[in-house]
Structures are given as structure tokens and as C-alpha cells.
Structure 1
Amino acid sequence: MGNVGVQARRPYSRLPRGASLWERLKHHRRISGDCWIWTGALAGSRDSRGVIRVEGRSVYVHRLSLALSLGIPVSKVRQVNHKRECTTALCFNPEHLYQGSQKENVADSKAVGTFSRPPSSKRRTHCRRGHPLSQDNVYSRADGGRCCRRCVLDRMKARGSAHACL
């Protein structure tokens, strides 16, 4: 019967020894519009960041791409953010990246609608001290987080705060 429905694998193409870092990056990209989508290894099982080995160390692809385009060592690149126009996490086009702060990164992700709290905080049913995180025992913080009302009141009483409520 043969291999009905089985696609032939693309032959593995190997880069020549001594290929430049740019050649290595471009070898693992798929172009989609203006984005350079990383098709190589990913960091971890759930992470949506590309990773590549450089001098025996794992380096995030977007950091390496920005460092190469700016002409600086990767170690000098701290926080790399995607510009608001690019919402593709695996994009490593240096024109879509900039050095910024975590605060800017959160603001950008909120502005384009890609910000989300880690699911663990939403699943929690009790605080660290065992109080239930029910509707009547939760304060919603300005940043979208939650805190236990009873713990807040206990802390205020312990400090001798004049305010009984927030």
C-alpha cells in the first residue's frame, strides 16, 4: 500500500562549519510578512522564545538578533521588547525589536491586547496563610492582581494602623 498520507521530510540542510551568527539565524527563519519567524529550537516546553547555542551557551534568538544589529555584545543587551506593531512572539526581525524596560513591555502588551496574568494566580483558591480567596475576601489591585482582605486587615492591625479598612 505504501505510505499513504505521509509527507516526505525535508532533507536536513547543514550549515558549513564556521558560519556566521547571522547565517545561523537566517538558516532557521521563515519569513511571514515583515516578521522573521524562528523555526529552530525553543526554550523549554511551554516557552515561545527561540534559543540558539553560541560559544557553548544558550542565547535567546531575539536578544542575539538585536545585539548583532546594534553591533554590541549579547551580554550588554538586557530587556528586549517587541514593538507594538509586531505581536509575533517568535519574531526576531531586529526592526521589530528594541531595548526597553519590563514596565514598557507590560504597557506594550496591554496596549495590543496580548497581556495576561499567569494562570496560577487565577486558579488559586486560598492565600498563603490558608484564607479562602472568595468574592467577599479579595481585594483587586490596580495592576489586576488579587490579595487576601483578611491578611491585609491582619497586617494593618499588627502595625496599629488607624484605618480599619482600605
Structure 2
Amino acid sequence: MRRQTDITHCGRGHEFTPENTIIKATGFRTCRACRHLTEADRRREARERLGVPSRPKTLSERLAARIRVDDETGCHVWFGTINHHGYGRITAPSDWAETKIATHRAAWVLANGPIPIGLELDHLCRNRSCCNPAHLELVTHRENVARGDAPPAHRSRQSHCKRGHPLAGDNLVPRKDGHRECRKCRAMRWPAATDPQSQHSDGAQQ
């Protein structure tokens, strides 16, 4: 059995010089260089010993590593972290303003540059986990909401009220909060005197 004093290098190949040697209370020696290795360094060394490919480092490499192309739809489907809204999430580079970023936004920035202020990305394919820049379009927030499946989007596309009256022309009453109202239905709920159109017509008759 070899004595520890006969060992001139540690398991990683560092020489046991006086500057690189730490004597423990038990009398054993330890390598100073190895002691300062981080957990990430140790995992990287373990992957190299086992022949495991190194992890992708750039944003484009990390995106490509977890994207699968759907041959039928052409969607670049993200198979990594998904938030509760169904959008993919990825850690942004250190020089970006955000720590976490949506994967479709990251794919757009890499392909087309920064997203202009005041605009958002809309999925034309309606697949929120898709990262294909060709399936994305720059739109305003109002247009993005109108194209969605939320109740406000359905109301904005509604052409008739629940009683079948057309929401157009003189029968459409735009409200200050952005909602639309049917003039005939409002007249049924309130007395005719409260309707501005009725008050105008009554004054004209007098």
C-alpha cells in the first residue's frame, strides 16, 4: 500500500506543492485547487468522464435542444418548461433585461431582432408552445386580445346581441369602458325617456 506522502498529484492531476496542499487536522492532505471547484465544475467533469455530451450554452442552442418540429403543422413545439398559460419559458442570457423569457419571444428576437415597443406576438397557428417565427405576427395588444379565445375576444367579434339585434349602425351604443351595447335592448331595460335618442326625438316633436 502506497503511503500518502508518496503521492505527488491528486486525482485530477494537480501537483501537491506547498502552495496547493492543505493539511487537515487528521494529518491527511487535500488539494487546494480541487477544494475550490464548484458543483457545476464537478458535474461537468463527471459528464466528460462518462462521455455525456456537454449541455448547450447559447440561447439558440438551448432552444434547439428542446424543440421538436411537427411535420403536419410546421410548428416548432417546445418540450421544456411551460407556464400555466401554456407558453414555454427559458432562462434569458445575462445581458437581457428579463431573467425568464417566453420561448416564442426568444425565437422571434433571434430570427428577426427586438420586438418594437407597443407591439406583441400573436400565434397564427394558435399553438402557444410553438416557437416557429414564421407562425408569429407582430400586433397591438388590442388586436392580440381580439384574436384570442377569451370572453372579451368573443364579444368583440359578436355581430348580434343575445336577442338577435344587429350590433351596427344606429343600434350600436359604444360605452366609455370600450364595451358595445344594443340600443334596442337598452330601451327594453330602461324607460324610453332615459334613451338619448328618444329624448332627442321627443324634443323635436314638441
Pairwise CA distance, 1:70: 1.1
User: What percentage of aligned pairs have identical amino acids?
Assistant: 27
Contact conserved, 1:140 with 1:146, CA < 8 A, in 2?
no
Q: Which has the larger radius of gyration?
A: 2
Please report the RMSD computed on the Cα atoms of aligned residues, expressed in angstroms: 4.1
- Listed as ranges, the matches of 1:9-158 within 5 Å are 15-16=55-56, 19-33=57-71, 34-43=74-83, 45=84, 47-54=85-92, 55=94, 57-72=99-114, 78-83=119-124, 86-105=125-144, 109=147, 115-118=148-151, 149=186, 153=190, 157=194
Aligned residues: 120
Which SS does the other structure have where 1:163 is aligned?
helix
Which amino acid in 2 is paired with 1:15?
R
1:163 and 2:163 are equivalent in the alignment: no
1:125 aligned partner:
none
Relative to structure 1, is the Cα distance of residues 76 and 22 closer, same or farther in structure 2, using a 3 angstrom cutoff? farther
Q: Gaps (5+ residues) in structure 2?
A: 1-52, 156-161, 169-178, 200-206
| Residues 122, 139 of structure 2: 8 Å contact kept | yes
2: CA distance, partners of 1:96 / 1:24: 20
Offset from partner CA, 1:75-104 (integer Å, 9 cap, x none): 858300123xx2322111112112122454
Q: Which has the higher contact order (CA 8 A, sep 6+)?
A: 1
TM-score using structure 2 length: 0.43
Greater per-residue helix proportion = 2
Asked if 1 retains the 8 angstrom alpha-carbon contact of 2:118 and 2:140, the reply is: no
| 8 Å contact kept, 1:62–1:92 | yes
Equivalence for 1:131: none
**Structure 1 unaligned regions, length at least 5:** 1-12, 110-114, 123-134
Name the amino acid aligned to 1:95.
Answer: A
Instruction: Work out whether residues 118 and 141 of structure 2, in 8 Å CA contact, stay in contact via their aligned partners in 1.
Output: no
Q: Distance in 2 between matches of 1:15 and 1:76?
A: 33
CA shift for structure 1 position 106: 5.3
CA–CA distance in 2 between the matches of 1:116 and 1:75?
24
Q: Is the 8 A contact 1:50 1:61 kept in 2?
A: yes
What's the CA shift for 1:60? 1.1
CA contact (8 A) 2:75 2:132 kept: yes
**Using a 3 Å threshold, how does the CA distance of structure 1 residues 140 and 116 change in structure 2: closer, same or farther?**
farther
